[in-house]
Amino acid sequence: MNPDIKEKPNQIFSGILEEAQRRKNEFEADSAPKIHIGVATCGIASGALETKKAFEEALDEQNIKARIHTVGCIGHCYAEPVVVIDYQESGFPPIFYPEVTPGKAKMLVKFFLKEGDPRLEHVLGATQENEMIPSVMEFSRFNQEKRVVMEKCGHIDPEDIYDYIADGGYTALEKVLRRDPVEIITEIQESGLRGRGGAGFPTGKKWDLARNAKDKDKIIICNADEGDPGAYMDRTLLESNPHQVLEGLVICAYAVGAEKALVYVRSEYPLAVKIVTKAILQAKELGLLGKEILGTSFNMDIEVFQGSGAFVCGEETALIQSIEGYRGMPQNRPPYPVHKGLWGKPTVINNVKTLASIPPIIKKGAAWYREIGTENSPGTAIFSIVGNVTHPGLVEIPMGVSLKTLIFDICGGIPNKKKFKAVQIGGPSGGCLPAEFLDTPIDFDSLTEAGAMMGSGGMVVMDEDNCMVDVARYFLDFTQKESCGKCTFCRIGTKHLLNILDRITIGEGKPDDLNMLQTLSEDIKSGSLCGLGKTAPNPVLTSLRYFLDEYEAHVNEKRCPGMTCRKLTAFYIDLEKCARGCDACVGCCPVDAVFTTSNRKKGIDQILCVKCGECMVACPPDYDAVMTVSPPELAPVIERPKEAVEKSK
Amino acid sequence: MVKLLVDDKEIEVKKGTTLLKACLENEIYIPNLCYLEEMEESVASCRMCFIAIEGEEKPVTSCTVKVTDNMIVRTDTPAVRRLQRSAFRLLLSTHHVDCRNCPANKRCELQRIAKLLKVGLKQKKLEQILKDTAIDESHPCLDYFPNRCVLCGKCIYVCQKQNGKAVITFAKRGFDTVVSFYGAGDLSAIPCGACNSCVEICPVGAITKKA
Q: Pick from B127, B170, B174: which is nearest to A483 by CB? A: B174
**Which residues of chain B does A331 touch, with a Cβ-Cβ cutoff of 8 Å?**
41
Beta strand extents in A267-356 (DSSP E only): 301-307, 347-351
User: At B70, which CATH number?
Assistant: 3.10.20.740
Q: Which of A87, A101, A81, A74 is nearest to A132 (CA)?
A: A87
B51 touches B59 (CB < 8 A)? yes
Cα–Cα dist A531/A540, whole Å: 16
| Predicted pLDDT of residue A1 | 41
Which residues sit opposite A385 in a β-bridge? A393, A459
**Is there a domain that residue B189 lies in?**
yes
> A645: pLDDT confidence band, cut at 50, 70 and 90?
low
> In chain A, which residue's Cα lies nearest the Cα of B94?
A492
> In chain A, which residue's Cα lies nearest the Cα of B63?
A332
Which residues sit opposite A95 in a β-bridge? A85, A126
A426 touches A455 (CB < 8 A)? yes
DSSP 3-state assignment of B51? strand
A113 touches A61 (CB < 8 A)? no
User: At B176, which CATH number?
Assistant: 3.30.70.20
Cα–Cα dist A279/A248, whole Å: 13
> In chain A, which residue's Cα lies nearest the Cα of B91?
A488
Which class is domain A569-648? alpha beta
pLDDT at A21 over 80: yes
Interchain pair B175, A492: CB under 8 A: yes
Beta strand extents in A98-160 (DSSP E only): 125-126
DSSP 3-state assignment of A365? coil
Looking at residue A639, the DSSP 8-state letter turns out to be P
Last residue of a domain, one of B29, B48, B77: B77
Per residue in B65-113, pLDDT (tens digit) is 999 999 999 999 999 999 999 999 999 999 999 999 999 999 999 999 9
Q: Which residues contact A146 (CB under 8 A, 6 or more apart)?
A: A372, A380, A396, A397, A398
Per residue in A122-135, pLDDT (tens digit) is 999 999 888 889 99
**Which residues of chain A does B83 touch, with a Cβ-Cβ cutoff of 8 Å?**
523, 526-527
Q: Does A488 touch chain B (CB under 8 A)?
A: yes
**Is there a domain that residue B123 lies in?**
no
Q: Which residues contact A47 (CB under 8 A, 6 or more apart)?
A: A81, A101, A102
Mean pLDDT of A535-546: 95
CB-facing half-sphere around the CA of A584: CA atoms within 13 A: 19
Q: Does A344 touch chain B (CB under 8 A)?
A: no
Cα–Cα dist A46/A80, whole Å: 6
Q: Does B118 touch chain A (CB under 8 A)?
A: no
| Predicted pLDDT of residue A131 | 87
**Which residues of chain A does B87 touch, with a Cβ-Cβ cutoff of 8 Å?**
488-489, 523, 527
**Which residues of chain A does B78 touch, with a Cβ-Cβ cutoff of 8 Å?**
none
Q: Does A510 touch chain B (CB under 8 A)?
A: no
| Predicted pLDDT of residue A158 | 97
**Is there a domain that residue B204 lies in?**
yes
SS (HEC) of A182-218: HHHHHHHHHHCCECCCCCCCEHHHHHHHHHCCCCCCC
Reported ipTM: the value is 0.97
Q: Pick from A481, A483, A496: which is nearest to B126 by CB? A: A496
Last residue of a domain, one of B77, B93, B114: B77
Average pLDDT value over all residues in chain B: 94
How many structural domains compose chain B?
2
Query: Domain range holding B6?
Result: 2-77
Q: How far is CA A148 from CA A71, A262, A624, in A?
A: 18, 24, 45
DSSP 3-state assignment of B41? coil
- What's domain A380-466's architecture? Roll (3.10)
Interchain pair B173, A484: CB under 8 A: yes
| Residue of B90, B110, B149 to mutate when probing chain A, most A C-beta within 10 A | B90
CATH of domain A31-138: 3.40.30.10
Cα–Cα dist A246/A542, whole Å: 38
Q: What is the DSSP string of B183-197?
A: --S-GGG-GGGT--H
Per residue in A432-465, pLDDT (tens digit) is 999 999 999 999 999 988 888 888 788 999 999 9
The one-letter amino acid at A234: D
**Which residues of chain A does B47 touch, with a Cβ-Cβ cutoff of 8 Å?**
487-489, 527-529
A400 touches A377 (CB < 8 A)? yes
* Burial classification of residue A195, based on how many CB atoms lie within 10 Å of its CB (0-12 exposed, 13-18 middle, 19 or more buried): buried
Average pLDDT value over all residues in chain A: 93
Cα dihedral angle (A40, A46, A49, A55), rounded to 10 degrees?
-120
Cα–Cα dist A384/B133, whole Å: 42
**Is there a domain that residue B83 lies in?**
no
| Predicted pLDDT of residue A338 | 95
Interchain pair B90, A483: CB under 8 A: no
Q: How many CB atoms lie within 10 A of CB A129?
A: 10
Question: Is it true that the peptide bond before A392 is cis, omega within 30 degrees of 0?
Answer: no
Could you give the residue range(s) of every CATH 3.40.30.10 domain in chain A? 31-138
Percent of chain A with pLDDT over 70: 98
**Which residues of chain A does B179 touch, with a Cβ-Cβ cutoff of 8 Å?**
none
Q: Does B77 touch chain A (CB under 8 A)?
A: no
Interchain pair B45, A523: CB under 8 A: no
Out of A245-254, B37-46, B115-124, give the one with best mean pLDDT.
Answer: A245-254
- Whether CATH 1.10.760.10 fits A469-557: no
Between positions 108 and 167 of A, the ones with CB within 8 A of B are: none
**Residues written for chain A:** 649
| Predicted pLDDT of residue B184 | 61
pLDDT at B187 over 60: yes
Q: At A570, give phi and psi (nearest 5°).
A: -130, 145
* Burial classification of residue B29, based on how many CB atoms lie within 10 Å of its CB (0-12 exposed, 13-18 middle, 19 or more buried): exposed
A528 touches A489 (CB < 8 A)? yes
Q: What is the DSSP string of A412-472?
A: ---STTPPEEEEEESGGGSEEEEGGGTT-B-SHHHHHHHT---TTSEEEEEETT--HHHHH
Cα–Cα dist B17/B35, whole Å: 13
> In chain B, which residue's Cα lies nearest the Cα of A520?
B86
**Is there a domain that residue B99 lies in?**
no
Q: Which helix (H) or strand (E) holds A254?
A: helix A242-256
Q: Which of A157, A355, A492 is nearest to B93 (CA)?
A: A492
Cα–Cα dist B178/B151, whole Å: 7
Interchain pair B48, A483: CB under 8 A: no
Per residue in A104-122, pLDDT (tens digit) is 999 999 999 999 999 999 9
**Which residues of chain B does A528 touch, with a Cβ-Cβ cutoff of 8 Å?**
47
The one-letter amino acid at A382: I
Q: Which residues contact A239 (CB under 8 A, 6 or more apart)?
A: A40, A41, A72, A73, A158, A269, A271, A272, A275
Q: At A74, give phi and psi (nearest 5°).
A: -90, -10
Interchain pair A327, B170: CB under 8 A: yes
**Is there a domain that residue B60 lies in?**
yes
Q: Does A526 touch chain B (CB under 8 A)?
A: yes
A157 touches A239 (CB < 8 A)? no
| Residue of A480, A486, A530 to mutate when probing chain B, most B C-beta within 10 A | A486
Question: Is it true that the peptide bond before A335 is cis, omega within 30 degrees of 0?
Answer: yes
Cα–Cα dist B185/A18, whole Å: 61
> In chain A, which residue's Cα lies nearest the Cα of B151?
A486
Interchain pair A492, B93: CB under 8 A: yes
| Residue of B86, B119, B124, B156 to mutate when probing chain A, most A C-beta within 10 A | B86
Could you give the residue range(s) of every CATH 3.40.50.11540 domain in chain A? 161-371
pLDDT at A237 over 80: yes
Q: Does B128 touch chain A (CB under 8 A)?
A: no
| Predicted pLDDT of residue A577 | 92
B91 touches B50 (CB < 8 A)? no
Per residue in A2-16, pLDDT (tens digit) is 444 567 888 999 999
Cα–Cα dist B165/B156, whole Å: 10
Last residue of a domain, one of B38, B57, B77: B77
Interchain pair A489, B47: CB under 8 A: yes
- What's domain A161-371's architecture? 3-Layer(aba) Sandwich (3.40)
Q: How many CB atoms lie within 10 A of CB A608?
A: 14
Q: Which helix (H) or strand (E) holds A82?
A: none
pLDDT at A304 over 80: yes
> A229: pLDDT confidence band, cut at 50, 70 and 90?
confident
Q: Does A523 touch chain B (CB under 8 A)?
A: yes
* Burial classification of residue A242, based on how many CB atoms lie within 10 Å of its CB (0-12 exposed, 13-18 middle, 19 or more buried): buried
**Which residues of chain B does A526 touch, with a Cβ-Cβ cutoff of 8 Å?**
58-59, 83
Beta strand extents in A25-146 (DSSP E only): 34-38, 67-71, 83-86, 95-97, 125-126
